[in-house]
C-alpha cells in the first residue's frame, strides 16, 4: 500500500479532514487535521478512523498505524 492511496482513501471518507501520511509497506503514521475530529473524544475519533481502515487491517495491507489529531489552528501553528 502506498501512502498516497491511504491519504486519498481517508480524505474521501472523512469529509473536511486533511490527512498527512508517513510510512511504507504496512506501517503508517497519520496526522489527521480536522476541527470536527479534534473536538471528539480520543476513543470516538480513533473508532471512526479504524472503522474506515478495518478491511485493510483484516487483510494485512495495514499492520500498524499510529494517529495524531490536530485542529486546523493547531496544525497551522506547527508549520
**Residue pLDDT, tens place only, 42-64:** 999 999 999 999 999 999 999 99
**13 or 25: which leads in pLDDT:** 13
Q: Give domain status of residue 77, yes or no.
A: no
At 78, the pLDDT band (50, 70, 90 cuts) reads confident
DSSP calls for 34-66: -HHHHTS-HHHHHHHHHHHHHHHHHTTS--EEE
Counting the structural domains of the chain, the total is 1
Q: Give domain status of residue 78, yes or no.
A: no
Q: Give domain status of residue 64, yes or no.
A: yes
Domain that holds residue 63: 3-72
Q: Give domain status of residue 79, yes or no.
A: no
What does the pLDDT read at residue 19?
Answer: 97
Q: Give domain status of residue 29, yes or no.
A: yes
CATH number at residue 22: 3.30.300.90
Q: Give domain status of residue 25, yes or no.
A: yes
Separate counts of helices (H) and strands (E) for the chain: 4, 3
Amino acid at each position: 500500500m502506498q501512502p498516497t492511496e491511504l491519504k486519498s482513501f481517508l480524505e474521501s471518507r472523512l469529509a473536511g479532514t486533511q490527512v498527512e501520511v508517513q510510512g511504507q509497506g504496512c506501517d503508517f503514521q497519520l496526522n489527521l487535521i480536522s476541527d470536527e475530529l479534534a473536538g471528539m473524544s480520543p476513543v470516538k475519533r480513533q473508532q471512526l478512523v479504524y472503522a474506515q481502515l478495518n478491511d485493510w487491517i483484516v487483510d494485512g495491507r495495514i499492520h500498524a498505524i499510529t494517529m495524531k489529531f490536530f485542529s486546523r489552528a493547531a496544525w497551522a501553528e506547527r508549520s
